[in-house]
Amino acid sequence: MSIDLEKILRPVDMVLPEFPAKYMTLSNGQEMVVRQVNRDEIPDILPHVEKLMHVERDYYHIVAARVYAELLAYYTYRVQDEYVLAAQVNGEIVAVVNGRIVNPDIGMSFHTLSMRRGLRVGAHAFAAKMEYHIDILKQKEVLIVAESPIGFRRWMIEYKLEKRFHIPHELGGCPSWSLTKELFDKARNTLVVGRRPVPEKLLAKAHAAILPPTDPPKAPEDLLAATRSMLDNTGTSLIDMRRKLGGI
């Protein structure tokens, strides 16, 4: 009986082509691999996203909370036609991006979460996700929203996205923006980087294990600044929260 109910609860995903892994050299000289991750790998990513739920800066908290839910939904088959890509440097996870296929023509961009700052790893991972929608799935447009000013700068301004304000985005019903194939073509030579195939050793390292981020965004040192918004001037609840989390 419970098995039958699971069949009803679980949407049947479309069969989608896989994102062909690619790699690029970052500005610090390191090589980053972007590849699709499968369901079995989601538990290896969740703990690193969870820690970011408590980083207020740059809206990491709301984005991480939503990404966590989306990854869990993917893992437990509670979302339709989602895919997840991970960006890794020497196996270490540095960014995660995800989205969903609405219909053959339209893609829904969910999130981009960078776990190492200052190297445009998020920008590169976002470009890979757009490449997946436009080049691999041959979609006409991708609906996008930004939850942070940095996200707005990276997507709406850098790609010159078009307004689709009459379409509520799946992320909170916010007015959507669109990356069309034409806009993507214009950005191809500047914003979309990477080479294929990924050298065997590099790809094997990425597949071997999703290693924890070594320098993830952290909550600020200034407890008072962090706690003012929590109406907790002594910092007690924040200290307590950090203790429970094992320190972030």
Which positions touch ligand COA (CB under 6 A)? 58-60, 63, 111-114, 117-118, 120-123, 146-148, 150-151, 153-154
Q: Decide: 89 and 45 in contact? Cβ < 8 Å.
A: no
User: Closest CB to ligand COA among 90 and 148?
Assistant: 148
> In the complex, what is the shortest distance from the CB of residue 186 to ligand COA, in angstroms, rounded to a whole number?
19
User: Closest CB to ligand COA among 104 and 173?
Assistant: 173
> In the complex, what is the shortest distance from the CB of residue 33 to ligand COA, in angstroms, rounded to a whole number?
15
> In the complex, what is the shortest distance from the CB of residue 64 to ligand COA, in angstroms, rounded to a whole number?
7
Give the total residue count for the chain: 248
Q: What is the DSSP string of 32-47?
A: EEEEE--GGGHHHHHH
Pinpoint the alpha helices (H) of 111-230. Answer: 121-131, 149-152, 181-187, 200-208, 223-228
Whether a cis peptide bond, with omega within 30° of 0, leads into 197 is yes
Q: Which two tokens stand for residue 197?
A: 């195939």
> In the complex, what is the shortest distance from the CB of residue 236 to ligand COA, in angstroms, rounded to a whole number?
26
User: Closest CB to ligand COA among 61 and 77?
Assistant: 61
Residue nearest to ligand COA (CB): 122
- Amino acid found at 132: Y
